[in-house]
Amino acid sequence: MAGLKYLSGFGNEFSSEDPRCPGSLPEGQNSPQVCPYGLYAEQLSGSAFTCPRPANKRSWLYRILPSVKHKPFAAVPCGNLTENWNEVEPDPNQLRWLPFTIAKPTEKKVDFVAGLHTLCGAGDSKSRNGIGIHIYTCNTSMVDRCFNNSDGDFLIVPQQGEILITTEFGKMMVEPNEICVIQQGMRFSVDVFGATRGYILEVYGCHFEIPDLGPIGANGLANPRDFLCPVAWYEDRTVPTGYTVINKYQGKLFACQQDFSPFNVVAWHGNYTPYKYNLKNFMVINCVAFDHADPSIFTVLTAKSTRPGVAVADFVIFPPRWGVADHTFRPPYYHRNCMSEFMGLIKGHYEAKEEGFQPGGGSLHSIMTPHGPDFDCFEKNSTAELKPERVAEGTMAFMFESSFSMAVTKWGLQTCQRLDKTYYQCWEPLRSHFNPNWKPSKK
């Protein structure tokens, strides 16, 4: 949407007023006896009050009516959204999905919430420790409906179709090759403009951070200035027929009715906000001498666990870059990992599997499940001339990596009917090159 404005920075102390109501932020205090313009003051806490300052997250919202004014919540059908990790037996195989199907509007109108499908996950929202990976496919906008997640944060990765997200903090337009994060408890609604598809990484009990840089220094990877959060925007709109607030709580969906729009925040300040990021701004680091670096150098955001260096989830991308390593097999190496790796493709062709892994699909390589380049990739790159070359041009693949051993849902294994049961065959042609008489070449 032309004309949308944003505030720049990651985790900053922001303040914003809708320009239609100048002076709507109270001066010198958070909760005056009477707020400017007769607004209500409401705090949204994203951390415990007593968290250390670097981890303390909260925002103050100044709104026309407080969010507490609503009818009681009642359970509603969850569709394919679930936190039941025991629906089907575990499957340790390499799994790959063809592009997930988007319903045609002539067949069925599906908005963002109705189009949420849980693919895999682990842990428990009640104990505030876990992860969920969801696919969204939709074809119509949310009308007089909003969603909030009481369980955790949503990291949304659009793959097809831009989405206009209206939040209590303002509006964000998010296009493919951008991501956004809607943090726990923030109400939002999604407008779409045709067939729309994407991926969601949900984490319970923690928030996403930009990773520490260590010896890289003060700059690099995802720079804080490139993260954008919306500016205040409000609507003073009554909805006599009822406005529906949908709440994801303890893995289930609940809905309540109210007679006004929840996007009635005239002004706000704080450091707990939704935000978006354009992946083209990622400052890529790569090997410039030899060997293949671990993919952690491509981490955009991390949700840390209580164990140092171990993530509940990392969001990692594989962007266009130069490959220049000498005497090196340049594609990703063969691997068995103590972490789970879910991969998706926004556009283009992933370097290690140029066939079969398609935009809008995905793959899951579970804990200690072997994976790596397919036969064609290995043969081609074992004999390729090693000259400087562009890698992943026109491509954007990504990975959700987690320390959790994720279970795949019944929808993921059966109902969606997109599981590629031939995936294992891409490694079948691999053959032995072992030569017991090999001698090092004389230099």
The response to whether 277 counts as a known ligand-binding position is no
Q: How many CA atoms lie within 13 A of 165 on its CB side?
A: 32
Give one DSSP letter per residue of 209-271, joined into a string: BPPP-GGG-SS-BS-GGGEEEEPP-----EEEEEEEEEEEETTEEEEEEEEE-S--EEEEEES
Do 359 and 345 form a contact (C-beta atoms < 8 A)?
Answer: yes
CA distance 5 to 97: 37
The response to whether 162 counts as a known ligand-binding position is no
CA distance 56 to 272: 9
* Residue linked to tokens 């025991």: 86
The response to whether 341 counts as a known ligand-binding position is yes
DSSP code, position 434:
-
CA distance 194 to 137: 11
Please name the amino acid found at residue 131: I
Strands (E), 115-186: 116-124, 129-138, 145-149, 152-160, 163-167, 170-174, 178-182
- Other Cβ atoms within 10 Å of 419 Cβ, number: 16
Based on the residue annotation, tell me whether 269 is a catalytic residue of this protein: no
The response to whether 42 counts as a known ligand-binding position is no
- Of 292, 327, 349, 365, which one is the catalytic site residue? 292
Q: Which residues pair with 317 in a beta bridge?
A: 398
By CB atoms closer than 10 A (0-12, 13-18, 19+), residue 265 is: buried
Closest residue by Cα to residue 156 from 116, 128, 209: 116
Structure tokens at 322: 């130069």
CA distance 364 to 399: 10
Binding site residues for Fe cation, as ranges? 335, 341, 371
Binding site residues, as ranges? 335, 341, 350, 371
The catalytic residue positions are 292
Binding site residues for homogentisate, as ranges? 350, 371
